[in-house]
Structure 1
Amino acid sequence: MSKTSQQNSAADAHGVSVIHSQPHGSGLQQVPQLVPVSPGGGGKAVPPSKQGKKNSFVDRNSDEYRQRRERNNMAVKKSRLKSKQKAQDTLQRVNQLKEENERLEAKIKLLTKELSVLKDLFLEHAHNLADTVQPVGTEASAADPDSKGQ
């Protein structure tokens, strides 16, 4: 007798048959195998969590359905409010950064203007200082009668 003839099989509503094996003396537990009932196979495997929900009739007047819908509606409202709040926070931050940027650009202009004025003052002072100071060699020999150049 073959191994498959010793196994029991039962088909469920999804066209999948679960094969249950007889326990072996080795003490190892066997995992049930999913085998398509139709010979051509086909169809996608459906996770166990969605198997019962796919073809089951939903009673829209039941308390459980109403509670699930209410919880879902509250979750959707909460999600939308959170998204709206995040967008408002982002917009507020953008406006703050724009104001700070304008303030910093005005400060840059002011400091650039101040630097230009200070450069001009420095150059004017350096030019005046250069005009008042005569070269050491020419002034000393012409003004000093005791110099060795005579």
Structure 2
Amino acid sequence: MRSFDTLNDLVACVGEEVAVSDWITVTQDQVNRFADATGDHQWIHVDVERAKAGPFGSPIAHGFLTLSLIPVFFDTAFDIRQSGMGVNYGLNKVRFTAPVPVGSRLRARMTLMAAMPIEHHGFQMTWGVSVEREGVDKPVCIAEALVRSYP
């Protein structure tokens, strides 16, 4: 895990790959709970037997489940010692570029693309996030995430 003392130290990294997260394993239980939370019970996610005979050969995670892991990736990749809070501000671009079979291990590479000062001595940061599946060259999700961080 990479550590920064202040937000200013992090902002000095604009244009750089700042960190790579820990690996996270996507489980069927997690997929089922996500389906219950969102109401998306499509068989390719939750019907294990049917999904085995389907186009992916096994159940796959929801694209939005993969996207929802971004905060966990951030938490395991770096910390800012003198930071009060951060909030999700939105997304500019999102693409689900490959399926995530249940049991896959994922991690994210985070590049700080831009940072601009905002009220209360904070920064709005634009992050390039590339979610990788272990053993596969092509990312499974590419997103531009907007985060507002405050000291």
Fold shared by both chains (TM-score > 0.5): no
| Structure having greater relative contact order (Cα 8 Å, sep ≥ 6) | 2
Larger Rg: 1
TM-score range, shorter chain: under 0.3
With normalisation by structure 1, the TM-score equals 0.17
Higher helix share: 1
Higher strand share: 2
